[in-house]
Chains A and B, each alone.
Chain A
Amino acid sequence: MDFAAWWLALGAALALAAAPARAAQPGMLPFSSEERALPNGLAVVVVPYESAGLVAVATIVRAGSRLEPAGSPAGLAHAVEHMAYRGGQRYDAAAYARLMQSLGAETAAETADDWTGYFVTAPAAGLERVLEAEADRLTAMAFTATDFRLEAAAIQGEFRRDAADPGSAARALLRGLAFPLGGYGHDPIGRAADVAALPQAYDAALAFYRQWYRPDHATVIVVGDVEPARAAALVERAFGGWSGSAPAFEPPVEGPQSAPRGAVKRDWPVATQPVVLVAWRAPGLAGADPAAAAEFAALDVAVELLFGPVSPLARELAVERREAESIAVELPVRRDPYLAVVELRGAAGRSPGGPDADLLRSAVRQAALAGTLAPADAARVEAVRSRRRALFRRQLESGEGVARALAPYTALPGGLASLARYEEALAAVTPEAVQAAAARWLVDAGVIEVIVERGAATP
């Protein structure tokens, strides 16, 4: 079956198969969508979506900072992302810019831990040219040493942009403490020393690009006012000649953690509210094993119940006692084991360097302990489930929003099916599973803590 015929058949099958399930249970993605591999291994996802004549194209390469080799400056994946704007073989930087300008296109790129994504939104009539240009710059990237040195300087500028933010500093400290060996141990842009060394890392960046920018390591997502079979055929025409295969990758094995790490405290040179991070080691979503998704989903519900915006802890710290200006929790989707992170800002006007930051972190630890003692409240579990679906839905407010919502899942082994797997796991979470996940993961031996504030004792 050729690709176009396959799409037509698929669309019909989905229309039949999906309707009853949706009627019973609003899904996270209320659109027909499916993933398909081209002969060269490239995955293609097309989502028809009413968007006033626009189309969003996202190319997600599973080449995030996770894959960066030891011995080279961190930040190679991010540097390659920058080099993509220097163009390819047929479209140099100026020709690429001219094309995108002529379409009035919005272009953006993002380097994450597990993937690097390139996003273009343009009139749907320009889809063929957008795909051609994206394929050219990503599969035949121009990579001169001179351009690389200039781009490395611009990356230093990007690094400077965040240098004034104590929250960025705290998160960077946390990563370093949690993952001393691997690519999760630093923000994708790298640490200050890495960014300073980047101008000399041309060969390493080129090698990174050649190794990991391969068709079996990428997904093209097309969302918008498109006819699916035609869109898929255009992707095949543009990217079909891409060849090669990404090697297998074994992430470095971090040593086991058997005791709390931190609290590491860092002094901040100007007045700031204390930034307090309390994190626990958490499971990744790498395996096709439903048990991994179940564990992830149960822990996700647990941390949301314990530290989320309507948790008893948030009510106590941020509303009633007002010791914290804000409290937020995140269990991000990652391929390998990562972290559940609670981030608090202390209330302004408290004594700098005083005990308040330590009180905040112990309040978080106590709330975690409470979560291990009894099953969660069933109605609250249902509320978290509902919120997860609702927040996913809210991302779907534009074609690019749809592509960005799907991106982290397409980068997991199993691709887009991992979203359905997560959704099923979320639907099946029980109050007992939430308690069990809290007891398994939110333990003292897995905790890592960081405080950044003015007047903090520097270790």
Chain B
Amino acid sequence: MSGARRRAALALGTAALALLAGLALPGCRPRQSAEPGTAPAAAEPAAGGEESVPPPGRGAPVVSIRVVFDVGAVDDPAGKEGLAALTAALVAGGGSRDEGYFALQERLYPIGGTIRGWADQETTTFVAEAPAEHATGLYAVLRSRLVTPRFDAADFERVRSAQVAALATTLRGADDEQLARRVLELLIFEHHRYAHLPEGTVRGLAASSPDDARRFWRERYRAGNARFGVAGAYPPELPEAIRADLATLPPGAPEREPLLPASPAGLPEVVIVEKPSPAAAIALGFPVAVHRGHPDFAALLVAMSWLGEHRTPYGRLYRELREARGLNYGDYAYAEHFVESPGTRFSAPGHPRSQQYASVWIRPVAPANAAFALRAALAELDRAIADGIPREEFERQREYLRQSLTLWRQTPDQHLGRELDDHFYGTPDGLARLDARLAALTPETLQAALVRHLRADRWKAVVVAQDAELLRQQLISGLPTPVAPADGAGPGTGDIPEADRRYASWPLGLVRASVFVVPAEALFETAVAPWRARP
């Protein structure tokens, strides 16, 4: 017994990560294989009893299993927008051939297991997590849902009603920050196959049926477009079991029309989402022809991180808007599509996209300061492109990012999710590659990349605000919009008055026809952008 415990301890002591891309099956489309980031584990079988208990003084006592299919919202049939997401949610949160939904939940309950599934634009991800000693029980439930899903009509109704509510009440009505950011995606990709959110549209969901979901699963969840990985202190036989189970899915990979690049942003446009709200939430951005696999990604990453790394106080926007002026709670910038990993500064893995956009998130400001905050962000973006980043600040920002890379994979699941995303981008060992590219950057090559990919006079923005007409007038008038006293704050320090004048009069290039007002209730109804609809 004690020998078994010791062996388990040794095995668990190595950071455990197995990553398997594609399935070695006859008829499968071969995929590039991964360089695993760390040695795979060979823990003792979790046969119950003390062997399965991670010993003291070791790493994370948890397990994460991820299965990814190359299928997403771009595969939604016209008129059934949201079907990929519905199918993912139904597989992850429904019954299996042998057991109903609630019975499976009862099996996950005592082991503290969770299974999540979602579709993004191009991929669908399933994540199962539990304490390591329950890995086998966790996988049994995941397996039954993935390989033998039930597509029960009542499960379908439950899942669809939650998905409709997420769009029609939560997003429209209960989270203005996310509302601005999500509508920005629609505005940027208006004429692209990303033109609807992965969650779908209210009518597209209403038009979908359990049979649609079953057909979508059968046709598109295939052995040849699947990859999976396991991380944490998992039993050694688990990867092979997953591989064998996924091999029972139909072989090959479904056809998909290649995605065209998104059009570059044209003249500036603003959508004002009108709804009762005590504050104005703002998001702005533009498409960029750069994703993680592109040589210029490192340059964009440093630049946007310097402008405002998510939830950190180090960025220029944060210092100017929040610290010096008290305008809001935070101001951040992103080099790629960014889904928050709650409570951290890191992006949640599982949302890789071949078409990308850069963006700035301005957290809610007092309505009187909405125009000022938008102008300030654009002025800072313009300065970064035109002048680059001062050498000392460049060095600091680059060092910060290079030092941060280990933190990007702190938990087994983050580590695994990042590596699976790397496969999507065709850059196995992506963090090491990124580190090398960061090391090779100079302020000059960085600025050249910014000039190649960014323009501060070609952008789209979304503002969620109560008095839309007043804001529209401010945006198109061309008159300065000085900062309103920041809610009782006294004067700040430094050269604020001069900078304030520059911000307040920053040219927006907007005319009446480029500022649209839509009521929140009109959003997400169909795949047609409501701001183009003629009254």
Q: Residues of A with Cβ closer than 8 Å to B?
A: 14-15, 18-19, 22-24, 26, 30-32, 48-54, 85, 93, 97-98, 100-108, 121, 123, 146, 149-158, 160-161, 163-167, 196, 199-200, 268-273, 308-310, 315, 318-319, 322, 325, 345, 347-349, 382-384, 386-387, 389-391, 393-394, 396-401
CA distance A410 to B301 in the complex (A): 39
**Are the CB atoms of B313 and A54 closer together than 8 Å?**
no
Q: Does B59 contact A (CB under 8 A)?
A: yes
A271: chain B residues within 8 A (beta carbon):
168-169, 172-173, 521
**Are the CB atoms of B174 and A164 closer together than 8 Å?**
yes
**Are the CB atoms of A97 and B313 closer together than 8 Å?**
yes
Q: Quick one: given A104-B400, A161-B364, are A390 and B312 in contact (CB under 8 Å)?
A: no
CA distance A391 to B108 in the complex (A): 11
Query: Which of the residues B176, B276, B400 comes within 8 Å of A102, measured between beta carbons?
Result: B400
Give the shortest distance, in Å, between A335 (CB) and chain B (any CB): 23
A382: chain B residues within 8 A (beta carbon):
110
A97 and chain B: residue at smallest CB distance: B314
CA distance A322 to B172 in the complex (A): 22
Query: Which of the residues A98, A151, A308 comes within 8 Å of B326, measured between beta carbons?
Result: A151
Query: Which of the residues B157, B164, B520 comes within 8 Å of A270, measured between beta carbons?
Result: B520
B478: chain A residues within 8 A (beta carbon):
none
Query: Which of the residues B60, B106, B158, B486 comes within 8 Å of A398, measured between beta carbons?
Result: B60
Q: Does B279 contact A (CB under 8 A)?
A: yes
Extra pairs beyond A104-B400, A150-B490 (20, CB < 8 Å): A24-B50, A26-B53, A50-B13, A102-B400, A104-B401, A106-B344, A108-B343, A149-B326, A160-B279, A163-B279, A164-B174, A199-B489, A271-B172, A308-B109, A319-B154, A390-B110, A390-B130, A390-B134, A397-B62, A399-B410
**Are the CB atoms of A348 and B168 closer together than 8 Å?**
yes
C-beta contact mask, B258-288 vs A, less than 8 Å → 1, else 0?
0000000000000000011111000000000
CA distance A123 to B402 in the complex (A): 12
**Are the CB atoms of B488 and A383 closer together than 8 Å?**
no
Give the shortest distance, in Å, between A21 (CB) and chain B (any CB): 11
Give the shortest distance, in Å, between A162 (CB) and chain B (any CB): 9
Give the shortest distance, in Å, between A379 (CB) and chain B (any CB): 10
CA distance A4 to B311 in the complex (A): 37
**Are the CB atoms of A156 and B162 closer together than 8 Å?**
no
B326: chain A residues within 8 A (beta carbon):
149-154, 156-157
B164: chain A residues within 8 A (beta carbon):
348-349
CA distance A93 to B323 in the complex (A): 10
A401: chain B residues within 8 A (beta carbon):
60, 411
Q: Does B328 contact A (CB under 8 A)?
A: yes
Give the shortest distance, in Å, between B7 (CB) and chain A (any CB): 15
B413: chain A residues within 8 A (beta carbon):
397
**Are the CB atoms of B158 and A322 closer together than 8 Å?**
yes
**Are the CB atoms of B407 and A106 closer together than 8 Å?**
yes
B172: chain A residues within 8 A (beta carbon):
270-271
Query: Which of the residues B102, B365, B401 comes within 8 Å of A319, measured between beta carbons?
Result: B102
Considering residues A19, A154, A271, A396, which has the most beta carbons from chain B within 10 angstroms of its beta carbon?
A154
**Are the CB atoms of B112 and A390 closer together than 8 Å?**
yes
Give the shortest distance, in Å, between B369 (CB) and chain A (any CB): 10
B425: chain A residues within 8 A (beta carbon):
none
**Are the CB atoms of A391 and B488 closer together than 8 Å?**
no
CA distance A151 to B325 in the complex (A): 9
CA distance A270 to B173 in the complex (A): 6
CA distance A150 to B319 in the complex (A): 12
A319: chain B residues within 8 A (beta carbon):
101-102, 154, 158
A26: chain B residues within 8 A (beta carbon):
53, 133
Q: Which of B173-206 contact A (CB under 8 A)?
A: 173-177
Q: Which of B380-425 contact A (CB under 8 A)?
A: 396-397, 399-407, 409-413
Q: Does B530 contact A (CB under 8 A)?
A: no
**Are the CB atoms of A153 and B487 closer together than 8 Å?**
yes
Q: Does B253 contact A (CB under 8 A)?
A: no
Give the shortest distance, in Å, between A388 (CB) and chain B (any CB): 8
B365 and chain A: residue at smallest CB distance: A157
* 6 A–B contacts from the bound complex (CB under 8 Å): A104-B401, A105-B403, A272-B169, A318-B158, A394-B129, A394-B131
Give the shortest distance, in Å, between A311 (CB) and chain B (any CB): 10
Query: Which of the residues A31, A53, A325, A396 comes within 8 Å of B406, measured between beta carbons?
Result: A53
B167 and chain A: residue at smallest CB distance: A348
Give the shortest distance, in Å, between A275 (CB) and chain B (any CB): 9
**Are the CB atoms of A387 and B112 closer together than 8 Å?**
yes
Q: Count of B residues near A, CB < 8 Å?
A: 95
B399: chain A residues within 8 A (beta carbon):
101-102, 104
**Are the CB atoms of B490 and A146 closer together than 8 Å?**
yes
Q: Residues of B with Cβ closer than 8 Å to A?
A: 5, 13, 15, 50, 53-62, 101-102, 105-106, 109-113, 129-131, 133-134, 154, 157-158, 161-162, 164-165, 168-169, 172-177, 232, 275-279, 311-314, 322-330, 343-345, 363-366, 396-397, 399-407, 409-413, 486-493, 520-521
**Are the CB atoms of A54 and B487 closer together than 8 Å?**
no
**Are the CB atoms of B396 and A101 closer together than 8 Å?**
yes
Q: Quick one: given A153-B326, A309-B109, A390-B134, are A397 and B406 in contact (CB under 8 Å)?
A: no
**Are the CB atoms of B169 and A273 closer together than 8 Å?**
yes
**Are the CB atoms of A18 and B403 closer together than 8 Å?**
no
B405 and chain A: residue at smallest CB distance: A104
Query: Which of the residues A48, A152, A158 comes within 8 Å of B488, measured between beta carbons?
Result: A152
CA distance A349 to B405 in the complex (A): 45
Give the shortest distance, in Å, between B5 (CB) and chain A (any CB): 8
B413 and chain A: residue at smallest CB distance: A397
CA distance A24 to B521 in the complex (A): 57
B412: chain A residues within 8 A (beta carbon):
397
Query: Which of the residues A22, A49, A153, A349 comes within 8 Å of B489, measured between beta carbons?
Result: A153
**Are the CB atoms of B324 and A150 closer together than 8 Å?**
yes
Nearest 8 pairs of A and B residues by beta carbon: A104-B403, A390-B112, A153-B326, A50-B59, A157-B328, A160-B279, A104-B404, A348-B165
**Are the CB atoms of A396 and B60 closer together than 8 Å?**
yes
B327 and chain A: residue at smallest CB distance: A157
CA distance A106 to B176 in the complex (A): 26
CA distance A102 to B393 in the complex (A): 11
A15 and chain B: residue at smallest CB distance: B56
**Are the CB atoms of B59 and A387 closer together than 8 Å?**
no
Query: Which of the residues B61, B111, B343, B401 comes within 8 Å of A396, measured between beta carbons?
Result: B61
Q: Quick one: given A107-B312, A270-B172, A322-B158, are A390 and B407 in contact (CB under 8 Å)?
A: no
A228 and chain B: residue at smallest CB distance: B57
CA distance A107 to B55 in the complex (A): 29
B322: chain A residues within 8 A (beta carbon):
154, 157
Considering residues A23, A108, A269, which has the most beta carbons from chain B within 10 angstroms of its beta carbon?
A23
A161: chain B residues within 8 A (beta carbon):
177, 279, 329, 363-364
**Are the CB atoms of B60 and A390 closer together than 8 Å?**
no
Give the shortest distance, in Å, between B54 (CB) and chain A (any CB): 5
CA distance A161 to B325 in the complex (A): 17
B410: chain A residues within 8 A (beta carbon):
51-52, 54, 121, 397-400
**Are the CB atoms of A98 and B396 closer together than 8 Å?**
yes
Q: Quick one: given A271-B168, A273-B169, are A153 and B327 in contact (CB under 8 Å)?
A: yes
**Are the CB atoms of A348 and B62 closer together than 8 Å?**
no
CA distance A85 to B402 in the complex (A): 23
A398: chain B residues within 8 A (beta carbon):
60, 410-411
**Are the CB atoms of B173 and A30 closer together than 8 Å?**
no
CA distance A98 to B396 in the complex (A): 8
Q: Quick one: given A49-B59, A271-B521, are A123 and B53 in contact (CB under 8 Å)?
A: no
B489 and chain A: residue at smallest CB distance: A153
Query: Which of the residues B53, B328, B488 comes within 8 Å of A22, measured between beta carbons?
Result: B53
Give the shortest distance, in Å, between B298 (CB) and chain A (any CB): 15
Q: Quick one: given A85-B313, A397-B62, are A270 and B406 in contact (CB under 8 Å)?
A: no
A31: chain B residues within 8 A (beta carbon):
56-58
**Are the CB atoms of A154 and B404 closer together than 8 Å?**
no
Query: Which of the residues B102, B407, B521 comes within 8 Å of A104, measured between beta carbons?
Result: B407
Considering residues B133, B168, B277, B323, which has the most beta carbons from chain A within 10 angstroms of its beta carbon?
B323
CA distance A331 to B130 in the complex (A): 22
Query: Which of the residues B50, B131, B329 comes within 8 Å of A154, measured between beta carbons?
Result: B329
